[in-house]
Amino acid sequence: MATNKYALFFILAFSTLSCSSDEGSPAIEPDTPTPYALTIPKHLPQNYTLPADNPLTEEGVELGRHLFYEEKLSGNNTMSCGSCHQQEKAFTDGRALSLGIDGLPSRRSAMSLANMLWFSQLNWDGSALSLEEQARGPIENTVELHENLGSAVAELQAASPYPRMFQKAFGDSIITETNVLKALAQFERTLISADSRYDRYMNNQEQLTKDELEGMKLFLTHPDPSTNTRGGNCGDCHGGTLFSLRTFHNNGLDDTFSDNGLGDVTGLERDKGKFKAPTMRNIALTAPYMHDGRFATLEEVLDHYNDHIKYNSPTLDPLIIEASNEPNGKTLLLTAEEKRKIIAFLHTLTDPTFTTDKRFSDPNK
């Protein structure tokens, strides 16, 4: 009995010491992500929507940056999002049709990622309704990165430094598909382009030339021969300071469609042949042009709108049908000088800060 008493005494004493030791240990604080201070230039839209379940944080954006340039998101670990969205080309790739990991051309041209914060219908055909949703598409597309996202997650889980980065960004070192997509979307929402010569002009920091100013007026004006108002008819689709109204149009490229664009998403006859009007920001860096990259230069683009619209194209945009600078004109009928001035203005939309900003660059270089 005495032996049992001593044994019980030591057990209780040890337990007391153990409890005292635990109570004195500092608690491990969970990682608390730091809110990302997103600065919106005053001349850009001040209204934008962030998903309630994916606020911008310093840690989430930095993780997204690493993932954007991470080749483990491709099936053979040779390509990343940044392969087709290169910063020096305003996050395009200079190809008519992007090439995937097997060297096969994709269906369409890579779009610029500038100012996607304000866009809710993504891709040329509007098939994704959020950046989180859009990010999955190229990863799992068999012609593009050709990777199962679940397999990529397993690779990331086994690779330093990702578990710790996910812990800091989302409070959990267990990597999930959802958090991969959230991080990519956070990074892409920070890709704001707003420091071109045009922007500095808008902020009274720089002057544009006479030709550039006349080109801007032509760009933004819908022609009206009845009032002798000459215009390039560009602003009807590419208006506002985003230089895209974020709408979809058939711009008269084809009489018949090999790619139905928005029509394949909605299933509506009236949407066949319609594609998103992309931003004109950094347009001088993003050749070739159109959803299929058919035009190599801005001059070819202006020639299309001036002389080569397919007026028999079903669903052709009404604002194109009736746009002419001459009474009863059947085409836009800009002069060569007017086209030159519009192109001069388009070059003022190039933002060298955007294409060199270290915050957007490959962290491994």
Q: pLDDT tens digits for 248-276?
A: 999 999 999 999 999 999 999 999 999 99
Indicate whether 280 belongs to any domain: yes
Q: Are 117 and 192 in contact (CB under 8 A)?
A: yes
Could you tell me how far CA 66 lies from the centroid of its own chain? 16
Tell me: the pLDDT tens digits for 25-59?
A: 444 456 899 999 999 999 999 999 999 999 999 99
Question: Residue 342: which CATH number?
Answer: 1.10.760.10
CA distance 255 to 68: 38
**Are 210 and 339 members of one domain?**
yes
**Are 175 and 237 members of one domain?**
no
Query: Pick from 136, 270, 242, 254: which is nearest to 262 by CA?
Result: 270
Indicate whether 237 belongs to any domain: yes
234 is an annotated ligand-binding site residue: yes
**Are 122 and 165 members of one domain?**
yes
Counting the structural domains of the chain, the total is 2
**Are 111 and 223 members of one domain?**
no
Of all helices (H) and strands (E), which one includes residue 305? helix 298-307
84 is an annotated ligand-binding site residue: yes
User: What are the residues facing 59 on neighbouring strands?
Assistant: none
Domain with 270, as residue range(s), is 197-347
Indicate whether 97 belongs to any domain: yes
Indicate whether 8 belongs to any domain: no
Query: Of the ranges 171-180, 261-270, 319-328, which one carries the lowest mean pLDDT score?
Result: 319-328
How many C-beta atoms surround the C-beta of residue 224 within 10 A?
14
Tell me: the pLDDT tens digits for 179-214?
A: 999 999 999 999 999 999 999 999 999 999 999 999
Indicate whether 201 belongs to any domain: yes
**Are 62 and 185 members of one domain?**
yes
The string of DSSP letters for 140-206 reads: H-TTTT---HHHHHHHHHTSTTHHHHHHHHHS-SS--HHHHHHHHHHHHHT-----SHHHHHHTTS-
Choosing from 192, 226, 244, the residue where a domain stops is 192
* CB-based contacts of 260, cutoff 8 Å, min separation 6: 271, 272, 273
Choosing from 147, 167, 192, the residue where a domain stops is 192
Entry pTM: 0.91
Identify the pLDDT of residue 330. 86
**Are 172 and 224 members of one domain?**
no
Q: Give mean pLDDT, residues 304-322.
A: 96
pLDDT at 350 over 50: yes
**Are 173 and 100 members of one domain?**
yes
Residue 233, helix vs strand vs coil: coil
Residue 248, helix vs strand vs coil: strand
**Are 254 and 282 members of one domain?**
yes
**Are 335 and 285 members of one domain?**
yes
Exposed / middle / buried, residue 178 (Cβ in 10 Å: 0-12, 13-18, 19+) = middle
Identify the pLDDT of residue 25. 46
CA distance 298 to 282: 12
pLDDT at 6 over 50: no
Indicate whether 284 belongs to any domain: yes
pLDDT at 144 over 50: yes
Query: Pick from 30, 65, 73, 37: which is nearest to 170 by CA?
Result: 30
**Are 188 and 214 members of one domain?**
no
Query: Pick from 246, 203, 56, 71: which is nearest to 146 by CA?
Result: 71
Indicate whether 91 belongs to any domain: yes
**Are 208 and 328 members of one domain?**
yes
Cis omega (within 30 of 0) on the bond before 161? yes
**Are 104 and 246 members of one domain?**
no
